[in-house]
Amino acid sequence: MSRDPLLQPYQLKHLTIKNRIMLTSHEPSYAEDGMPKERYRAYHEERAKAGIGLTMTAGSAAVSKDSPPAFNNILVYKDEVVPWLRQLSDACHEHGAAVMIQITHLGRRSHWSNGDWLPLLSPSHERETAHRGFPKQMEDWDIDRIINDYADAAERIQAAGLDGIELEAYGHLIDQFWSLRTNTLEAPYGGDLKNRMQFSLDVLAAIRKRVGDEFIVGVRFTADEKTEGGLTEEDGLGVARTLKSTGHVDFLNVIRGHIDTDPGLTDVIPVQGMPSAPHLDFAGKIRKEIGLPTFHAARIPDVPTARHAIAEGLLDMVGMTRAHMADPHIVRKIIENREDDIRPCVGATYCLDRIYGGAPALCIHNAATGRELKMPHEIETAPSQKKIVIVGAGPAGLEAARVAAERGHKVHILEAAPHAGGQIRLAAQSTRKKEMISIIDWRLEQCEALGVTIDYNCWAEPENVTDLNPDVVIIATGGMPNTERLVDGNHLVYSTWDIISGDIKPGSNVLLFDDAGDHAAMQAAEIIAQSGAHVEIMTPDRTFAPDVMGMNLVPYMRALQDKDVRFTVTYRLLSASKEGNALKAIIGTDYSDHVEERVFDQIIVNHGTLPLDELYFDLKPLSKNLGAVDYDALTEGYVQPEGQNADGFFHLYRIGDAVSSRNTHAAIYDALRLMKDM
């Protein structure tokens, strides 16, 4: 029996949870028609198979019709959810994982145009900034109806064979009642904290009446809203004591903060560059004061911190949620003494930002997450060994190398730079984003262990490749910034990469024309602003930085807003020319014929990259497949065809930005899905 604190079983009432690691509730937006179907099940099953102790499925599963799905939530107000949940829980139980689900009424935290177009409701008319819907103030018949909906939902979940439920009470209806910021009702459900808790107490009593005393019921709640006029820590402790006194609550899952704005949400769920485990000691304090079984998650991405949380008695169950999106097999790797093999969560929060953008959650550097039905987390050995030459050691090239080497192939990488990393290395130049380099380092370590050869400082010519006698050549050479966007004066501008790399020092009055809307522009703007310069970020789009989503934008804004920065939307840089020591910018707009002249001392243009594809085109005639990719084979998961050029020597493919300017996830997905069948 292991002595690792993380691997000790935990007894929660009658339920033995086999270890202390859990997935806290997270809605990955994989539901189909509001139901947790095959994709949903496969996602949780993968983590159960690898040994997770408890998986809190769903996130914010809706108990009522007028809790419209904000991010494709599971609809537990429908009876048809029972067989789907039954399949999910049976699949996870088979591997020994405990399975619960978080249920909720979102209250104002959604938009009325989702779902059935029913009006939002809340105990006040106060709008939530993040989801933008104005709610109606609840009436008595709403309150009775929704209490009953909670009880109905709990009964369905019990019928589906899950081990328990968790009520969501941070930012949702239950704590909208608790907080004076969102409750302007009068007694019996408004007024002092006792009254404001009445709704939650009625919900708990109704649930207990329906599911009995044995079924596990917990509450995930904010114990300190950390905002003006919100619930204080003292209120939070009061709430926890009252919940405990009902005898209906079996565990608490502690949150600190508020989620009604992007910055608030980002403080509750910190992104990369923010401190690790910022609320862990606070959760430990609640555990100590209240004495109920206590769960918690907030950026505990690494095993030593999780172990500390359990060993020090701060928590009973520790949540490693995004960590398991990056690597579903953490528990197995701990058991097998392979902690060094764990694919690290780098806190990029691409996963969470995507669901708020209306898309399914994906991990920036694990392309199999959320695609378990088609993409493997464990790579199978190929039937025969091939010699594979990969040109480029950025994220695409290294992922291709890792997967090919796992398949048992002989892999040789040629890299022009003295080190690996490509654009990731550039992004990681900023202190806040330095965790990004783990995307590269983890792959380098895996490649080294698998015997991959890497030649650095090798600008590959066709003969460097053909001399190695490859069966397959992968071109992962990336791209270079495309700044040739102006009618006139392209030679006068610099790229965002010039600024980020430090090759070019910021001027003092800088125009940053962002025609891509990605991280590079914001990262360069931050460097320029920090130097004390004035920077104007101009975009022809309707909003600035459209590809930097909500939570990722927060650290940039915190770094920029107290500096000399101006945001200009819907204007386009047309041309630049010299005017003495300065640069004259001609600025237009897509909306009209309006044109104006402005003067700066430096102009930066951000417009993605153009592929470095010369080598690819040189090698193309020598290849069997003439560079062609069979998209059906690629997307359906079978081997690429032989190709039409009988005189060819090898198969040739290009991936990542060597094809077109995209993001890190796209580059890694290109590599995984091509190489897994090679």
Provide the mask over 316-355, with x wherever binding to ligand SF4 is found by CB under 6 A and - wherever it is not. Answer: ------x--xx------------------xxxxxxx----
63 binds, among ligand SF4, ligand FMN, none (CB under 5 to 8 A by kind): none
72 lines the binding site for ligand FMN (CB under 6 A): no
522 binds, among ligand FMN, ligand SF4, none (CB under 5 to 8 A by kind): none
Scanning 22-30, 127-135, 420-428, 435-443 for contacts with ligand FMN by CB under 6 A, the matching segment is 22-30
Binding residues for ligand FMN restricted to 415-444, rule: CB under 6 A: none
Instruction: Tell me the C-alpha distance between 300 and 476, whole Å.
Output: 33
Count other C-beta atoms under 10 Å from residue 33's C-beta: 10
Count other C-beta atoms under 10 Å from residue 488's C-beta: 11
27 lines the binding site for ligand FMN (CB under 6 A): yes
321 lines the binding site for ligand FMN (CB under 6 A): yes
665 lines the binding site for ligand FMN (CB under 6 A): no
Binding residues for ligand FMN restricted to 336-355, rule: CB under 6 A: 351-352, 355
Q: Residue 393 is encoded by which pair of tokens?
A: 């050691």
168 binds, among ligand SF4, ligand FMN, none (CB under 5 to 8 A by kind): ligand FMN
Instruction: Tell me the C-alpha distance between 364 and 559, whole Å.
Output: 23
Closest distance of CB 354 from ligand SF4, Å: 8
CB 325 within 8 A of CB 366: yes
User: Euclidean distance between the first and final Cα of the chain, in Å?
Assistant: 40
Count of residues near ligand FMN by CB under 6 A: 24
Scanning 224-232, 361-369, 400-408, 544-552 for contacts with ligand SF4 by CB under 6 A, the matching segment is 361-369
CA distances from 638 to 20, 367, 388, 471, 635 (A): 39, 17, 18, 18, 8
Instruction: Tell me the C-alpha distance between 469 and 465, whole Å.
Output: 7
Instruction: Tell me the C-alpha distance between 250 and 243, whole Å.
Output: 10
Q: Are strands 596-600 and 582-588 parallel, antiparallel or unpaired?
A: antiparallel
Scanning 159-167, 358-366, 478-486, 500-508 for contacts with ligand SF4 by CB under 6 A, the matching segment is 358-366
Binding residues for ligand FMN restricted to 361-390, rule: CB under 6 A: 361
Is the torsion defined by CA of 412, 415, 420, 422 positive or negative? negative
Scanning 3-11, 145-153, 291-299, 497-505 for contacts with ligand FMN by CB under 6 A, the matching segment is 291-299
The DSSP bridge partners found for residue 294 are: 252
Count other C-beta atoms under 10 Å from residue 9's C-beta: 11
299 lines the binding site for ligand FMN (CB under 6 A): yes
Q: Residue 38 is encoded by which pair of tokens?
A: 């095959």
271 lines the binding site for ligand FMN (CB under 6 A): no
Cβ closest to ligand FMN, residue 264 vs residue 506: 264
122 binds, among ligand SF4, ligand FMN, none (CB under 5 to 8 A by kind): none
List the one residue from 76, 363, 465, 493 that touches ligand SF4 (CB under 6 A).
363
List the one residue from 6, 97, 265, 269 that touches ligand FMN (CB under 6 A).
269
Scanning 108-116, 319-327, 362-370, 391-399 for contacts with ligand FMN by CB under 6 A, the matching segment is 319-327
Burial class (CB in 10 A: 0-12, 13-18, 19+), 463: exposed
Residue with tokens 């991936």: 655
- Residue type present at position 272: Q
DSSP string over 358-413: TS---BTTBTTTT-TTTS-SSPPPPSS--EEEEE--SHHHHHHHHHHHHTT-EEEE
CB 167 within 8 A of CB 147: no
Cβ closest to ligand FMN, residue 110 vs residue 606: 110
Cβ closest to ligand FMN, residue 200 vs residue 623: 200
The DSSP bridge partners found for residue 61 are: 103
Interacting residues with ligand SF4 (CB under 6 A)? 322, 325-326, 345-351, 363-365
Q: Name the site residues for ligand FMN (rule: CB under 6 A).
A: 24-28, 59-60, 102, 168, 220, 269, 297-300, 319-323, 351-352, 355, 361
